[in-house]
Amino acid sequence: MATSVLDEPDVAGRIRRGPDLIRVLFESLMIMATIALGGIGAHTSSGLESDVHNGVEFAPAFILGAITVLTNAATVAIPVGLAIERLVRGDGKHVANAVIAAAVGCGITSVLNVWITSSYAPGWLLSELTRHLGSGTTPPLHIYLVTVIAFLTALGFNDRPSLRTFTWVCVAVYFTATLISGDSALVGLIVTFLLGRGIGFGWRYARGVANERPGIQIVLAELGRAGLAPVSCHRKGEHKATRRYEVRCADDRRLEVAVLDRDRQAVGLIYRIYRHIRLRGPAQQRNPFSLRRTVEHEALLSYALADAGISTPKLLAVREPSADSALLAYEHVPARSLDRLADEEFTDELIEGVWNIVRELGRHQIAHRRLALDSILADEHGQIWLTELRNGEIAADELQHLLDIAATMAALALKAGPERTVRIGADIIGEDRIGAALPFLQPVLLTRGTRLAARKSKHLLRRLREQILEIHPQAPTTEPVKLERLKPRTILTVSAGCFAVYVLMLEIASAGNASGHSPWQLMAAASPWWLLIAAATAALTYVAAAMQLAGFIPENLPKAQNLMVQLASSFVALFTPAAVGGVALNVRFLQRRGIPTGPALSAVGAGQAVAFIIHIALIATFGFFASGGATHDEASTTMIAILLAIAVLAMTTLTVAPLRRLAKRRLVPFFEGSLPRLLDVAQNPRKLALALGGTLSISLLNALCLWSCIHALGGHAIPSYPTVALMYLTVQAVSSASPTPAGMGAVELGLGGALALAGVAKPTAVVAVLVYRLLTTYLPAVPGYAALGRLRHRRAV
């Protein structure tokens, strides 16, 4: 019987592939990282270049000459040979696109070389990408190499790994020969390679590649070879990067055909990688990146469900129409997904059917891992069917089954409500199983569709938890199971910390260039007496912190252990957001001393509340003295501007509702429950003196340490102590909002910029702040680690 193709959409002759765009972004990021690391390790790269160049001087000249000739010939012959082969095969358009990519690469590289060597580009970029020779400097970027690499990248190798490996080995040898001959700098060569790759992939994405995805005719031919005798086909669209077809066979059977294309596997790749990094253990969903493994895994789950007697569309055929695509043909099931049913169609019988399926999955140790309204079908007889099997697991453990139960509860509750969902689920799978799944009712563990719908339905998960506890008060725990390896805040903190380190390195390098001396030379020339004063004041801050904690506790704390706790906080602070680590360690110390959790939290919260009030009062006080006693009008104007900025920030926070709510969330925990503790402290003069004296001394001693560091380095424009104190207090308040541990990067940039505005030379300001941070933050972490280990050994924290 002749086949007829129905509703065939217009197929684009060329398509833009997602992996090409991802590669362009990757090459761009690698270029920025190379330039950044090249700036930090400039001496290392130049030393490596000199070592290579000097080392090969002992090699025979004829060997070096032969290597140069062979690599030059190879980098010419290989691209020409590939182009001729494609032309012989009638693929002239592909060759033309590669030639255009090479021309674009040549043009872009030429323009970049002109710009880098001009006065408009930063000088550090030219020094990184070039190498100084007796006759001048080398070009920043190698035009010929960019042209060849862009051509090879755009042309491709037609899935011939041996040829691809040989070609890139030849290019690598050419790179080495170029470096040995001194014709390019190491950083310039690396950027050249990445730029060529990026241009090749960029042109390939912009121009598109020939659409080699199998069309409907090929799909029908493959189904015919599988013995299914298709007679018509209708494309239903694309779902989750998979093309869907509805096919009618000669025996009136209807098929649901899913076609997977290799180039569409990159859709959602970044999100899948993010989820894989963020979640740990069984919470991770299977995400095979190989097309063949994806198809094999889905087929395996389909056969496993069918063998277990669980309703799922029957898999009739698995075929590979081409090397870059695969299809799965399922028997059509006249059913609708649950997300397309009206709320009134969610009868108790329907919900019971879903829970029966979940029970059978657990009995056969199969986990679906994507139970949601769009992956569960119901036919007109109320029978439940499962689809979307790609993420499932066989031989699933208990935890994976509990994840399925939690996902089912959240999905059904969107339509049937928490009360009916939990009640029927408890009747089918048991109250114990429902209660055991309680800790897994977390948004991060749900599918994206369920998570977004639950976010719109306010308090859905909380209501589910309440229903579970109502029918099963003996639920083992109400605390969520920790299945996140990294929370978004942690990822932000790590990223911000890496960026802060990079910025700090650039600041130190720029300070050295501006002064003509390295930062270490400036430190070595510092006054030892002022450095001794700075170190002493930094050490006294830990005594002041111990006084502050002792002042807010009615009980007497052991002085040595209290001091060790404050020193240990310096180590903890390097790995936690600002103020979090120290607060948690102090509370833990008080709990170990037998103080209940409530009073311990109140004491530490009272200390934070008083510190906040004193901090604001000190800013106002030193702002008055700094403005009145400044010897320069510019410094006075700067101080007034800082105070006005703080006032504007405070007023904006109070006026804008989201900012006001954010401030309330951050400040209320410090002040909540602190008033009774403050009243207790006020009635004891000794404790009051310890509390206020310690809190006040922490700020004054830190400011004195910074001021001493500035004096140690000397200079002509040393600000007064009130001015430095105002700068320290202001920057400290602003940097507390930084996501980096201990305000890393934010404090250095803020203090350095403030000192520069006050008239301190930039090299002096940067190095003074660096010395201050070494004495107060970074160096104390070493004894802090030892103190933390000692406290743990004694079970004091």
User: Residue 340's pLDDT is what?
Assistant: 93
Q: Look at 24-28, 176-180, 643-647, 719-723 and tell me which has the smallest mean pLDDT.
A: 643-647
Q: Residue 84 half-sphere exposure, CB side, CA atoms within 13 Å?
A: 6
Work out the burial of residue 671: count CB atoms within 10 Å of its CB; fewer than 13 is exposed, 13-18 middle, 19 or more buried: middle
Confidence of residue 597 (pLDDT cuts 50, 70, 90): confident
Q: Which helix (H) or strand (E) holds 322?
A: strand 315-322
Residue with the bigger pLDDT between 294 and 676: it is: 294
CA–CA dist 166, 161 (Å, integer): 9
pLDDT confidence tier of residue 65, bands split at 50, 70 and 90: low
Q: Which pLDDT band, with edges at 50, 70 and 90, does 784 fall under?
A: very high
Cβ contact 193:145 at 8 Å: yes
Strand, coil or helix: 91: coil
In this prediction, residue 667 carries a pLDDT of 59
Q: How many percent of the chain have pLDDT more than 90?
A: 32
Average pLDDT of 60-80?
Answer: 68
Confidence of residue 46 (pLDDT cuts 50, 70, 90): low
CA pair distance 480, 441, nearest whole angstrom: 7
Kindly give the pairing relationship between strand 315-322 and strand 254-261.
unpaired
Specify the higher pLDDT residue, 19 or 348: 348
Return the structure tokens found at 643. Answer: 């105070």
Task: State yes or no: pLDDT of 555 exceeds 70.
Answer: yes
Least confident of 259-268, 488-497, 725-734: 488-497
- Give yes or no for residue 631 having a pLDDT over 50: no
Dist. CA 682–CA 674, nearest whole Å: 12
**Could you give the percent of the chain with pLDDT greater than 70?**
77
Mean pLDDT of the chain: 81
Predicted confidence at residue 199, as pLDDT, reads 95
- Whether 442 and 480 have beta carbons less than 8 Å apart is answered as yes
Does pLDDT of 692 surpass 80? Answer: yes
271-326 tens-digit pLDDT: 666 666 667 666 666 665 678 888 999 999 999 999 999 999 999 999 998 877 89
Q: What region does 267 belong to: left with phi over 0, alpha with psi -120 to 50, or beta?
A: beta
**242 vs 88: CA distance, rounded Å:** 35
**64 vs 519, higher pLDDT:** 519
Reply yes or no on whether the pLDDT at 50 is more than 80: no
What's the CA gap between 587 and 590, in Å, rounded? 5
State the helix-helix crossing angle for 143-155 and 61-88, rounded to 10 degrees: 40
For 275-281, the CB contacts below 8 A with 24+ separation are 277/485, 277/486, 277/491, 278/444, 278/484, 278/485, 278/486, 278/487, 278/488, 278/491, 279/444, 279/445, 279/483, 279/484, 279/485, 280/483, 280/484, 280/485, 281/399, 281/483
768-791: average pLDDT: 91
Evaluated on CA atoms 21, 25, 30, 35, the torsion sign reads: positive
pLDDT at 181 over 90: no
Question: What mean pLDDT is predicted for residues 451-461?
Answer: 86
What is the rounded average pLDDT of the residues 583-590?
86
The 10 Å CB-count burial string (b at 16+, else e) for 557-580 is beeebbbbbbbbbbbbbbebbbbe
For residue 635, the model assigns a pLDDT of: 47
pLDDT tens column, 733-777: 877 767 677 777 788 888 888 888 888 887 888 888 889 999 998
Q: Judge whether residue 190 has pLDDT over 50.
A: yes
Q: Is pLDDT of 410 > 90?
A: yes
Higher model confidence: residue 635 or residue 186?
Answer: 186
Neighbouring C-alpha atoms within 13 Å toward the C-beta of 737: 12
What does the pLDDT read at residue 137? 76
The three-class DSSP label of residue 236 is strand
For the entire predicted model, the pTM comes to 0.61
Of residues 266 and 530, the one with the higher pLDDT is 530
Mean pLDDT throughout 550-574? 88
Inform me whether the pLDDT recorded for 638 exceeds 60.
no
* Average pLDDT of the residues in 183-205: 89
Q: What is the mean pLDDT of residues 78-82?
A: 85
Question: What distance lies between CA 143 and its chain's CA centroid?
Answer: 35
Give tens-digit pLDDT for 693-726: 999 999 999 999 999 999 998 866 788 898 899 8
Q: Which residues are within 8 A (CB) of 651 and not within 5 positions of it... i.e. 6 or more apart?
A: none
Confidence of residue 448 (pLDDT cuts 50, 70, 90): confident
CA dist list (Å): 96 to 82, 83, 119, 171, 211 = 12, 9, 37, 22, 17
**CA gap 647, 723 in Å, rounded:** 18
pLDDT of 640 > 60? The answer is no
CA distance 120 to 113: 12
Q: Residue 501 and residue 662: Cα distance in Å, rounded? A: 28
